[in-house]
Each structure stands twice: as structure tokens, then as C-alpha cells.
């Protein structure tokens, strides 16, 4: 009899933990590499402590074309043979596992901490640091270029604008960047550790603030995980409202970022218009739930607020006005040669590298990669109402901006359709207790890209482990890569074209 070395599930399907195969490491490694090679992407890779001082490593591989997820696992002790040399998508995950559980991935090309905290395992440290040794953020080795006229530029943690903290280390020759290394961890608030033993009253609030500009994305992924574990059937009307809110979140952020991109090339008309238009979209969200960021609306079992006919009309009216203004403001960008001169050919990411390092979201679609959870692995309302995937092929700042504008059009179309056909019925179905000893993986397409949540329950139905992967976790490395041989003054522009989350990464 041939037993499959992995289990295949749909987005949001619950399986019994005992049905997830535990392979010996070599088989795990080979299976992972072969799945990864055949149009599979590493969505998540994490460790969970088990008995005998061992750690169980789970890998979640998304098969976009087939529309399913492959789950496999293995158990490791102090070290294992690193996956990164053969699967670069694993490199950041392996650093995370090393930092959290003190396990050394032998042969990892650049094994450094990613968040700078003490290991969660009591007696293991991947870098053999002593227990009382202070761990200072971003105090670590950096890739260094030596030579005549080479200089190093260090930026952050505190940046010039009203943005989150992170550290950027550039190796430059004149204005040309030879290498950029990004080091984060300043925003580490310890969310994942507090999720062990959950769900409790605070859990949903952790989700809504994991990345505060993606409250709806993360809350949706979490609720879908819990609902699947509790076998709760969410009313269709609630699913539609969640979809509308998710697209409003995308609209606000995409519009705001297009304005900020204009600001970074000193093109003030679009910058000022879009700054305001972003608020118009946020205010539509606030109309539905009272909060501009969609807090306190998505809850396990459904949504807290309904949309009546009067509100529907008001949303449509405001949406039409905001969209008209968006098109008007953004069209200026495409028509202006000096803007295009800065956008085109700037911060190029090749399709090949994009797939190799596992970039997700609009950044991947801007390299011509057709990949969108709403289309490939849909959940909720997206199973019934699909959104077309917006791609463009040039991989530069222009492409990332252009893809976002296409997504704005599609999101507006989607919201209009949903409002016109809002299903009748309830908006909330009581969500019971999560089933015991189970595992579920949920994906949602947040505005930055794929959000992946994995929940594993213990014998009482509490979370034994909960893993959050924000799209930024995949994409920070892509940003670092596009700066190679780029001019240093283009950094803000490239950075904004990705606009990644610091706290979503640091958790």
C-alpha cells in the first residue's frame, strides 16, 4: 500500500491532526522540494514543540493551479539539513524557526535572527547565546561590501515619516546600491505566543492589530479558521459583507499608496487627491461598522453589522464618487512623462526571481505571475463571485502601480455586484467550540497579498499552536532584491511600491 507523504486540503478545510503524516526528515525534505518544484509555493513553514524536546515542523504548500494545499510534517531535534539552498522560499521561515525554537538549519546561507527575542525553547539557542545575554534589536552581522569608494548607509529604526520602525543597511558605490539588507523586529509584540491556549476574548483583537491596516484580512482568515474548526456555517449574507469589507480595505490602501507613490516622485496633484480619496474609502468602511479600519465587525460566525437598503444606496453613491475621483487622479500619473520616467524600469523584479523567492500579492502579479487567493484558492463569498486576476509583466514600480489601479477597478465592480445581489438572511450564526486535535489552514487575499493562518487545536479544542503569515513575511526579501544596482534615491519609491507591514512581519 502506498501512503501519501502529504495530505491535500482545500482552503479552510479541517483535518484531524493524526491524519497529517509525520515523515522522517529525508522524506519530508524530498517531498517538500518536489511539491515546491511543481508549481507549488511555500505558504507557511513553522515549528511546534512536541514531546521529548523535539519540534514538529509543518509545511503548507499552496498549489495555485489545482486549488488546494498540501500539508506535511516532520520532527526534528537540535538541527536538520537546511531546506533553503534547494528551496529559497524557506529562507526566512527557517530563520524564524531557528530563532523561536533554537533549531539550527545546517547549511542555511544566512542564518540570523529576524525579530530579536529570546528563544521560546528553554534550553536551546541557535546561536549559543547565554541565557542572561541581552539581545539587542538588529545588532547582528550584515552583508558587507569592501573596496575603494564603497560606503555604507544605515537607515532606521526611526524613519523620517509617520511610519513604523525597521532598519535598512545599504552597501553603496556612489549612488548605486550594491546590496540592501533589511533587518526588522522592532515591532515585536509577542502576538503568537499569546495565541497558545486561545481562543479567548482578546484573540480577535490580536488578529485585528496583527497588521492594523489589514484588520479585515487577518480577522477574516482567523474567523474562517475558527468556523471551520467549529463546523459553523456562516450565513451567505455575512460572507458577502465580509467580501465587501475586504475589497474596501484594498481600495483604501491601493488608492493611498498610488498617492504616496506620486508623492515620492514629487508629483503633488495625485499625491494630494489620493491622500483624501483614501479617506473616502475608509469612511465607507466606517459607515458600515463605525470604524475606519474595519475593527469590531468581523467575528466568528459572521459579521456584527448589517447593510440595509438605505445604507446600500449611500455606499453606492459614495463609492461611485470616490471611484470617479480615483480614476481622475490616477490617470494623471499615466499621462505625465516625468512620472513615468521615474516609475518605468525602476525597482525591477524578474518573474523568475519573484517565483523563486515566493513573492505574493500585487508585487507578484506585477511580474506577470497569475496568482490570487480569491481566484485560485477562494473561500467565503469568493467561491461564488470571482474577481479576475490583474497582472502586468514588467515587474517595475510602474507595473506595481498599474496592477493596483486594475485591482481598484475590479474591487469597485465586485462591491457593486455584491450590493446589488446581497443574499437575504441572517448575518450571524453562533460559532461553537473548535474541534479537538485538528488542524486547519485558511488563506485570504489581503491587499498586500496572501495571508495564511494555521490553527492547531489540542485535546480540549484550544489552540496548541497558531501561525500567522502576513504577506510581508514573503515580500520583504523581494524589496531588498529590487534595490540591487538601483540608485539609492529610488529606495523610497521602491519601498512604497511594495508598502510592506513591519508589525505584520514582527507580530
Binding site for another protein (CB under 8 A): 115-117, 136-137, 157-158, 160-165, 185-190, 194, 200-202, 205-206, 209-213, 215, 256, 269, 272-273, 275-276, 278-279, 283, 286-293, 295-296, 305, 325, 328-329, 331-332, 335-336, 501-503, 506
Q: What is the DSSP string of 489-502?
A: GGHHHHHHHH---H
Strands of the sheet with 167-173, listed across from one edge: 150-155, 167-173, 176-183
Residue 40 or 504 having the CB closest to another protein: 504
Least distance from C-beta 393 to another protein, angstroms?
27
Q: Is the dihedral of CA 92, 95, 96, 97 positive or negative?
A: positive
Least distance from C-beta 116 to another protein, angstroms?
6
Q: What is the DSSP string of 110-150?
A: T---SS----SSSS--TT---TT----TT-S------STTE
Least distance from C-beta 374 to another protein, angstroms?
23
What CA–CA distances, in Å, run from 443 to 48, 300, 375, 386? Answer: 20, 16, 11, 15
Least distance from C-beta 93 to another protein, angstroms?
21
Least distance from C-beta 487 to another protein, angstroms?
20
Residue 28 or 101 having the CB closest to another protein: 101
Q: What is the DSSP string of 201-244?
A: TTHHHHHHHHTGGGHHHHHHHHHHHHHHHTT----HHHHHHHHH
Residue 54 or 332 having the CB closest to another protein: 332
Residue 11 or 253 having the CB closest to another protein: 253
Residue 90 or 431 having the CB closest to another protein: 431
Vertex 382 angle, CA 350 and 70, to 5°: 60
Directed axis angle between helix 268-289 and helix 236-264, to 10°? 160
Residue 165 or 368 having the CB closest to another protein: 165
Residue 118 or 409 having the CB closest to another protein: 118
Question: Grid coordinates in use for 402?
Answer: 498599474
Residue 196 or 332 having the CB closest to another protein: 332
- Report how far Cα 83 is from the mean position of its chain's Cα atoms: 21
What CA–CA distances, in Å, run from 344 to 73, 219, 261, 340, 393? Answer: 43, 36, 13, 6, 12
Least distance from C-beta 269 to another protein, angstroms?
5
Least distance from C-beta 333 to another protein, angstroms?
11
Terminal C-alpha separation, the chain: 43
Residue 176 or 291 having the CB closest to another protein: 291
Please give the helix or strand (H or E) that residue 80 lies within, else none: strand 79-81
φ/ψ of 72, rounded to 5, equals: -140, 160
Least distance from C-beta 18 to another protein, angstroms?
33
* Residue 145: other Cβ atoms inside 10 A: 13
Residue 209 or 386 having the CB closest to another protein: 209
For residue 142, give the nearest of 170, 104, 166 by alpha carbon.
Answer: 170
In three-state secondary structure terms, 446 is strand
Amino acid at each position: 500500500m502506498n501512503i501519501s507523504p502529504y495530505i491535500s486540503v482545500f482552503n479552510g478545510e479541517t483535518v484531524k491532526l493524526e491524519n497529517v503524516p509525520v515523515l522522517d526528515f529525508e522524506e519530508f525534505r524530498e517531498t517538500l522540494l518536489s511539491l515546491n518544484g511543481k508549481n507549488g509555493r511555500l505558504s507557511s513553514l513553522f515549528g511546534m514543540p512536541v514531546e521529548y524536546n523535539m519540534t514538529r515542523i509543518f509545511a503548507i504548500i499552496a498549489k495555485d493551479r489545482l486549488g488546494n494545499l498540501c500539508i506535511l510534517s516532520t520532527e526534528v531535534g537540535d538541527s536538520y539539513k537546511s531546506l533553503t539552498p534547494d528551496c529559497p522560499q524557506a529562507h526566512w521561515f527557517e530563520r524564524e524557526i531557528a530563532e523561536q525554537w533554537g533549531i539550527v538549519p545546517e547549511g542555511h546561507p544566512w542564518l540570523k535572527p529576524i525579530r530579536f527575542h529570546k528563544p521560546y525553547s528553554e534550553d536551546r539557542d541557535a546561536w549559543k547565546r547565554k541565557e542572561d545575554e541581552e539581545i539587542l534589536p538588529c545588532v547582528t552581522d550584515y552583508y558587507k561590501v569592501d573596496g575603494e569608494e564603497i560606503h555604507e548607509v544605515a537607515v532606521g529604526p526611526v524613519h523620517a515619516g509617520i511610519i513604523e520602525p525597521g532598519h535598512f543597511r545599504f552597501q553603496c558605490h556612489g549612488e548605486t546600491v550594491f546590496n540592501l539588507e533589511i533587518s526588522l523586529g522592532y515591532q515585536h509584540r509577542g502576538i503568537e505566543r499569546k495565541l497558545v491556549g486561545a481562543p479567548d476574548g482578546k484573540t480577535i483583537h490580536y488578529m485585528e492589530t496583527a497588521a492594523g491596516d489589514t484588520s479585515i484580512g487577518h480577522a477574516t482568515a482567523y474567523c474562517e479558521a475558527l468556523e471551520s474548526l467549529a463546523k459553523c456555517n456562516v450565513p451567505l449574507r455575512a460572507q458577502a459583507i465580509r467580501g465587501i469589507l475586504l475589497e474596501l480595505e484594498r481600495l483604501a490602501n491601493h488608492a493611498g499608496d498610488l498617492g504616496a507613490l506620486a508623492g515620492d516622485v514629487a508629483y503633488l496633484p495625485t499625491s494630494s487627491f489620493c491622500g483624501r480619496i483614501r479617506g473616502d474609502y475608509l469612511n465607507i468602511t466606517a459607515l458600515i461598522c463605525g470604524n475606519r479600519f474595519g475593527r469590531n465587525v468581523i467575528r466568528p460566525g459572521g459579521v456584527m453589522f448589517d447593510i440595509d437598503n438605505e445604507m446600500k444606496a449611500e455606499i453606492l453613491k459614495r463609492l461611485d464618487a470616490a471611484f470617479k475621483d480615483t480614476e481622475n487622479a490616477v490617470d494623471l500619473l499615466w499621462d505625465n512623462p516625468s512620472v513615468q520616467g521615474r516609475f518605468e524600469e525602476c525597482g525591477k523584479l524578474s518573474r523568475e526571481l519573484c517565483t523563486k523567492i515566493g513573492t505574493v500579492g500585487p508585487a507578484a502579479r506585477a511580474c506577470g505571475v497569475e496568482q490570487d487567493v480569491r481566484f485560485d484558492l477562494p473561500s467565503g463569498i469568493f467561491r461564488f463571485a470571482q474577481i479576475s486576476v490583474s497582472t502586468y509583466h514588467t515587474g517595475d514600480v510602474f507595473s506595481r502601480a498599474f496592477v493596483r489601479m486594475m485591482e481598484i477597478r475590479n474591487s469597485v465592480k465586485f462591491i457593486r455586484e455584491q450590493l446589488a445581489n446581497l443574499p437575504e438572511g441572517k448575518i450571524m450564526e453562533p460559532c461553537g467550540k473548535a474541534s479537538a486535535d485538528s488542524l486547519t489552514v485558511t488563506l485570504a487575499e489581503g491587499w498586500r497579498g496572501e495571508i495564511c493562518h494555521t490553527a492547531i487545536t489540542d485535546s480540549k479544542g484550544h489552540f496548541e499552536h497558531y501561525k500567522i503569515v502576513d504577506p510581508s513575511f514573503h515580500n520583504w526579501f523581494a524589496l531588498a532584491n529590487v534595490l540591487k544596482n538601483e540608485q539609492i534615491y529610488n529606495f523610497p519609491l521602491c519601498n512604497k511600491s511594495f508598502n510592506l507591514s513591519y508589525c505584520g512581519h514582527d507580530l
